[in-house]
Chain A
């Protein structure tokens, strides 16, 4: 066999490994109900902030603890805890993506992404 065919085969195999390796590393979009039945599994949950319940952040006690409530797309509400400082634009955000896993009745987030309402929807004069 010519070297160029071997190269082609190796390249295709390597590409397959590279592409399919993603499968084991991706996370899933979930909701609190599904998430509770798989504690420990890392998921993404998209939700809306429950502003009435407020947020907890007392930097003088612990600058690395922030807690808030969100309602997932099915309407279930859950407390979320983040082991980091409160992101400054958090209060502006309505939609929040939380990444982490359930631990008892609390969702422990390792990261949160804020989706600020688009300027184009919100702007009012």
Chain B
């Protein structure tokens, strides 16, 4: 039995409050779900169970808020006795990124999801038709039971349920000897810091948006299940439609923000990589989009009830499956994202099966009870082609899930003692595009003409034919010319381009010609234009993506795999990259980042400079993750120039300036004095008081800089400025170095009476300053972003219209 130690300095109350709030929200969600369940069978005028369910859910919302604020307080106050704060934050973390800590870890991102789900539940109670509250909230509250159980962190019968964000550091790492000391907190002064990739403005808004999207797929799902359960097989569609549309709109926006984040701050050179995490976000979107088409068809023609229900329930189940994939650690060897396995995979799988079970039971039990409209399918009806469209979207989702699940097949085969050894495709793009490009062509084609048909039957087929002929003809000529002049290589890209243009033209014409510019009704048309523009933007920016940093100077080893995409740039030595002259100008250190200034001069054919700009890709030296490169991009209307460093000289990474230092001297000098090294001489010009920015950067109360000039024997001149300051009673010393001259200088002290300063100088072997970088031109990427914007706006307009229609029925 280990002796009980009374630990010093821990703030246990806040963690206990937080943990209690988690337990309460779990219990209250359960109570709410059970109460609502019984409420469904009580008489309309009897509201005992209903009230209980409602109050339990309201209070549950308060406990969720308490959990959030407790965890925020822990992170904000740097209580590193808590494992979550210690692993995902640090003293220097700016407040705006403290919010990002919530999605730095699994527990926090579950909490984010819980918060949105609590909010959505409250909105359902408030806004949804009262006749639906009981059954819908039974399911919403059950889903809340599921999510809160993931952060419960309690032992029930020896089984660990969930992982608590309020686990103490000493509980998480029981083996570390330091936790035998009562005063261990004195040596835990700082956290290990937030993943630098999350310290980005996109990462402040992308996860909450995406998680709202994920969470909101629950509401249409709950309506569909409630419809089956209450045998109101078709009534659910109208009230559920606005919820489904807002979910589609926000989920789509969240996915796009993720793509923008990847483009702006990751270095794989693109916005979409078919990574399992990305696939996990697009799956529910595709299925939900298919389901919404089904709902709209049903609304107008009472057809496709079965398919619609299946699609809507699948969109939520796909969120659960995707969560299982990305958080269970099963993708370990197939994704660049490092997923930490919290040992929750069993629990995630269990919940997935619970929801599949409930859904499957209700769907099968009622399958024969509800009748779809059995009237003859008309090839000239709008619903027929919309239905085909849903199936094509579903096909796209089926393919994505089949490829992403490859690691799952291995696990399943292993259960039967078969070693499948199946690995993800080596060429991901090729494997996905094989199906996704034909699918995109069909979607573009369908979204172009389907709306011009009438529901049930189109009588004026001749005028339909003429219109389509004109729109397609224009698209064919424009697309054909673009295909030829842009040299899009493969015919299939040309077909995709023509069909996408057809969709843009036809839907634009639809807004003017059919809707008479009534934008309130144009949600679908605007979304379709957006989708088609995304396809066009993708074609140009990916097919014509041009790595301009092709390395031609070094000889090739005859290795066809060598991509030759990295170029070494020596400081002040311009290199020609296509029509740019690129020069590395040097670095500047703004802890924790080092910015590398890279100057681009755009040249014309006569070799004179058209214009120039300077990019500052940066690198952060992170103790856990090594060098993390952050790209910088110059945006033009018709193309982007994207640049990031892949490698910097080793001394920068190690940050060890003193290694190999020799002839170190310390001297008192006055302005104008000269110091000598074996290869250069240094003139001390003046000591100057530095401004607030520099002072804040180093946290000093007062800061001085010793301005010096270095003259090398080769005739070069450099500037160097070591800093000296005070912070309270302690001195602050910031060395400066000049690699080319091989000089390192420190500023040690100042004598105010005679204006002399004490400087230290040491010398190293001079080395050339260089970076290895990659530069990529993305043409017409703005078409893609414009398409994304229109898709978001279009789905939002559709939401507004359907919300109004649903309300008018009440």
Q: Which residues of A contact B (CB under 8 A)?
A: 2-4, 7, 11, 14-15, 17-19, 21-22, 25-30, 42-44, 46, 57, 59-65, 81-86, 88-92, 97, 99-100, 108-111, 113, 115-116, 118-120, 123-125
Contact = CB atoms under 8 A, between A and B. Distances in A.
Contacts of A7: 387-388, 391
A123 B435 contact: no
B361 to A, nearest CB: 24
B647 interface: yes
A63 B772 contact: yes
A18 B625 contact: no
Q: Which 8 A-B pairs have the closest CB atoms?
A: A83-B562, A88-B627, A85-B646, A44-B423, A18-B399, A27-B423, A25-B431, A89-B626
Contacts of B559: 81, 83, 108
Interface stretch (B135-143, B247-255, B521-529, B563-571): B563-571
Given A88-B626, A116-B338, A15 B563 contact: no
A63 B332 contact: no
Contacts of B425: 22, 25-27
B369 interface: no
A67 B646 CA distance: 16
Contacts of A125: 173, 176, 178, 187-188
B554 A64 contact: yes
B604 interface: no
Contacts of A44: 333, 423-424, 426
Nearest to B551: A64
Interface string B733-777: 000000000000000000000000000000000000010101000
B402 A19 contact: yes
A26 B647 contact: no
B377 interface: yes
Contacts, number: 160
Given A29-B421, A88-B647, A123-B87, A83 B403 contact: no
Interface in B625-656: 625-629, 646-647, 653
A17 B480 CA distance: 29
B323 interface: no
B418 to A, nearest CB: 13
B345 to A, nearest CB: 14
A46 B564 CA distance: 25
Contacts of B561: 82-83, 100, 108-110
A92 B646 contact: no
A3 B384 contact: yes
Contacts of A124: 176
A15 B395 contact: yes
B235 interface: no
Contact of B398 (A15, A61, A111): A15
B406 interface: yes
A65 to B, nearest CB: 7
Contacts of B388: 7
Contacts of B554: 61-64
24 contacts: A2-B376, A3-B377, A7-B388, A25-B431, A26-B406, A26-B425, A27-B426, A42-B426, A43-B423, A59-B647, A60-B568, A60-B770, A63-B551, A63-B567, A64-B563, A82-B561, A83-B562, A84-B565, A84-B566, A88-B626, A89-B625, A109-B561, A120-B172, A125-B176
Contacts of A109: 561
B201 interface: no
A119 B566 contact: no
B772 A113 contact: no
A22 B420 CA distance: 14
B563 A2 contact: no
B430 interface: yes
A64 B550 CA distance: 10
Contacts of A30: 421
Contacts of B387: 7
A113 B333 contact: yes
A119 B379 CA distance: 58
A118 B435 contact: no
A69 B463 CA distance: 69
B557 interface: yes
Given A44-B423, A63-B554, A63-B647, 12 more contacts: A2-B377, A7-B391, A18-B399, A22-B406, A25-B425, A25-B430, A63-B567, A64-B566, A83-B564, A91-B626, A119-B340, A120-B340
